[in-house]
Amino acid sequence: MLGRMQDWPLTVDRILDHAKSWHGDREIVSRSVEGPIVRTTYAEAHIRAKRVSNVLKGLGIGHGDRVATLAWNTARHLETWYGIMGIGAICHTLNPRLFAEQLVYIINHAEDQIIFTDLTFLPILAQIRDQIPTVKHIIVFSDDGHMSQDLPGALCYETLVNDASADCAWGGFEENTPAGLCYTSGTTGNPKGVLYSHRSNFLHTLVTMGTDVLGVSATDTVLPVVPMFHANAWGIAFSAPGVGAKLVMPGPKLDGASIHELLESEQVTFSAAVPTVWQMLLGHLRQTNGKLTSLKRVVIGGSAVPEAIVRGFRDEFGVDVTHAWGMTETSPLGTLATPNHRIAGLDAESQLKFKLKQGRPPIGIDLKLEDDEGKLLPRDGHTFGRLLVKGPFVVGEYFRGDGGQILDADGFFDTGDVATLDSDGVMQITDRSKDVIKSGGEWISSIEIENIAAGHEKAELAAVIGVFHPKWDERPLLLVKLKPGEQGTKAEFLAFLEGKIAKWWTPDDVVFVDDIPLGATGKIDKKLIRQRMADYVLPST
């Protein structure tokens, strides 16, 4: 026997259909690549997305074909997403911060047939054009007046869209049809593709709308600084249209001054980005005595948030910071540091230690910790273990079966993170498994040390790696990039850490560097740091 409810496939085209029907006049505001602010609405985006669908069909794109985007957050990018997915094709987001050879590998592995791109990225595509044979057309987000000749044969987006019909049927396919393709950063071997289904994206959208997750509502004005090529802009490209929030798209300008301008001019109430973006914004606000008159909440993810950022937003600007954790393989939101009833009853200072953790799993996500032998570990808040995750919007296998079997016997995916879980269900990432420092048989969290060190008033960025030690196997080394014009000493940074970490966690040395490299997703690139420091010897050895 089955239930007697309507069979309504959970396909993402229904999200923009809903936005058009019930809040079609709500604005989408974009800072264009050409410079000016461009305004449209969900109703207009819906019409243009249908036109995009007909453009694709006219170019031979059908069910299951991969169509890539290499673009900033703009309304054009958004309407292209829905135009691709609405006809059952697969939207493959490309990260422009990857190296050229990585882009070539990903495009060829996906067998992309069309790439939509911004003017900004034409030089990248011109460099690799003869290495991506499956790509039949490149469509540039531009009009005739701004089209560049950097890539001969490229097509003009506005010309194609204006000439296409808006009469196009969406959906009508099974909800487990693939909708999106996003590749991991490939820090260990080649990038792997995560193939999202319409159902998984729809369920993730419903979950993120909850108060204990993103909690975005129809009264919000949302600025997703997190790029659309980072796992669906953390789902905001679906949840904002779903609830009817005003969307403010930042385009290519992500510096502190440009973000502040949009926050104020559009009266943004909610935003999301990686820590480096908020660090730049705080720096700009302090230098200019700037104000935040409308912003109420920010979500920070991608890497662990330093305490100094949380305190800065809270104490100086009255903005609440929510820490989030996830990965490409979790669609991406896996946990958020929203308080439960017990934590909410604590004073602000006591709550802060929970805000610095990665948070609790929402409905649809299950977590567990295991040791290296697969033994289940307790939720006591201090036992480190490998973090595994399970749920209806968590990867089951990689695209084309890369990596083979990736789930354990109970269907859990190993995240590659080392974490703790406490009795409130709050999870804290202590390291990537490849970055954790193993000293004398015990584990030291590099993330915890570097987050505290980054809070020093002279520090712009901090990183911690393990360095060989003949007695203890590894000892922590702290690398610090100072703010412009600052001078620092080893002694003052070690003194700053004193009392904030276990004494035996104290770094054996502090090295001041001109640069701390960031990877394609804004995280500290410790693989590159380790290569640079390969010949370094601790003074204690």
So what's the pLDDT on residue 232? 84
pLDDT for the residue 275:
87
pTM of structure: 0.88
Q: Where are the domains of the chain?
A: 13-25+41-198, 361-391+399-432, 437-532
Cβ-contact 236, 224 below 8 angstroms: yes
Which are the contacts of 23, defined by CB distance < 8 A and separation ≥ 6? 42, 218, 244
Q: Is the pLDDT of residue 57 over 90?
A: yes
DSSP notation for 453-492: HTTSTTEEEEEEEEEEETTTEEEEEEEEEEPTT----HHH
Tell me the average pLDDT across 221-229.
Answer: 96
CA dihedral sign of residues 530, 536, 540, 541: positive
Q: What are phi and psi of 523, to 5 degrees?
A: -90, 155
Nearest residue to 177 via CA among 203, 195, 156: 195
What pLDDT, on the 0 to 100 scale, is given for residue 134?
98
Q: Angle 13-23/75-86 helices, nearest 10 degrees?
A: 120
Read off the pLDDT of each residue in 371-391 and give the average, rounded to a whole number: 95
Residue located via tokens 């592995």: 109
Q: In Å, what is the CA distance from 121 to each residue of 126, 139, 148, 228, 502?
A: 9, 12, 11, 15, 47
CATH architecture of 437-532: 2-Layer Sandwich (3.30)
What 3-state class would DSSP assign to 46?
helix
- The token pair at 46 is 């819906």
Name residue 273's amino acid. Answer: A
Tokens of 434: 């490849």
Q: Give pLDDT, residue 435.
A: 85
Residues 351 and 339: their CA atoms lie apart, in Å, by 8
Length of the chain: 541
* 8 Å CB contact between 278 and 255: no
Q: Please name the residue that has the structure tokens 């204990």.
A: 212
User: What are the tens digits of pLDDT across the range 247-300?
Assistant: 999 999 999 999 999 999 999 999 999 888 998 999 999 999 999 999 999 999
Distance CA 337, CA 331 (A): 17
In whole angstroms, what is the distance from residue 314 CA to residue 303 CA?
A: 19
Section 239-250 average pLDDT: 98
| Percent of the chain at pLDDT exceeding 90 | 84
- Contact of 230 with 302, CB cutoff 8 Å: yes
Pairing type for strands 333-336 and 427-432 reads: unpaired
pLDDT at 218: 98
Per residue in 424-453, pLDDT (tens digit) is 999 999 888 778 888 877 778 888 898 899
**Residue 301 vs residue 50, higher pLDDT:** 50
**Using 50, 70 and 90 to split pLDDT, how confident is the model at 188?**
low
Overall average pLDDT of the 39-53 stretch: 98
Residue with tokens 């004073």: 347
| 469 compared with 20, residue with greater pLDDT | 20
Residue 18: CB partners within 8 Å, gap ≥ 6? Answer: 241, 242
Q: Read off the pLDDT of residues 144-182 as tens digits, 9 standing for 90 and up.
A: 999 988 899 999 999 999 999 999 999 999 999 999 999
User: Region 322-336: what's the mean pLDDT?
Assistant: 96
Buried/exposed code over 478-496 (b: 16+ C-beta within 10 A; e: otherwise): bbbbbeeeeebeeeebbeb
Task: Over range 513-518, report the average pLDDT.
Answer: 92
- Please count the other Cβ atoms lying within 10 Å of the Cβ belonging to residue 150: 13
Here the tokens at position 128 are: 């690799």
The residues, any chain, with a CB within 8 Å of residue 315's CB and separated by 6 or more, are: none
Contact assessment for residue 149 and residue 171, using Cβ atoms and an 8 Å cutoff: no
Orientation angle between helical segments 256-265 and 275-288, nearest 10 degrees: 80
Picking from 205-209, 259-263, 527-531, which range would have the lowest pLDDT averaged per residue? 527-531
Contacts of residue 471, defined as CB under 8 A and 6 or more positions apart, other chains included, come to: 440
* Contact yes or no for 20/42 (Cβ under 8 A): yes
CA 379 from chain centre, in angstroms, equals 27
Q: Which two tokens stand for residue 92?
A: 């493959």
pLDDT (0 to 100) of residue 478: 96
H-helix segments, 336-470:
341-344, 348-355, 446-453
Side-chain half-sphere of 477: how many Cα atoms within 13 Å? 22
Residue with tokens 């406490």: 422
Q: Considering the domain 13-25+41-198, what is its CATH architecture?
A: 3-Layer(aba) Sandwich (3.40)
**96: three-class secondary structure by DSSP:** coil
Q: Report d(CA 102, CA 105) in Å as an integer.
A: 5
* Half-sphere CA count of 411, side-chain side, radius 13 A: 7
CA 332, CA 426: separation in Å to the nearest integer? 18
372: its two tokens: 């290296």
Spatial separation of the C-alpha atoms in residues 236 and 243, rounded to whole Å: 10
107-123 tens-digit pLDDT: 999 999 999 999 999 99
Per 3-state DSSP, what percentage of the chain is helix, strand, and coil (rounded to 5)?
A: 30, 25, 45
Q: What confidence tens digit (pLDDT) does each residue in 461-505 have?
A: 999 999 999 888 899 999 999 999 999 999 999 999 999 988 889
Query: What is the fold of 361-391+399-432?
Result: Luciferase; domain 3 (2.30.38)
**In the predicted model, what is the mean pLDDT of residues 224-244?**
94
- Give the catalytic positions in this structure: 184, 329, 438, 443
Query: Residue 187: what pLDDT?
Result: 54
**pLDDT band at residue 513 using 50, 70 and 90 as cut-offs:** very high
Chain-wide mean pLDDT for the chain? 94
The whole-angstrom separation of Cα 449 and Cα 354 is 17
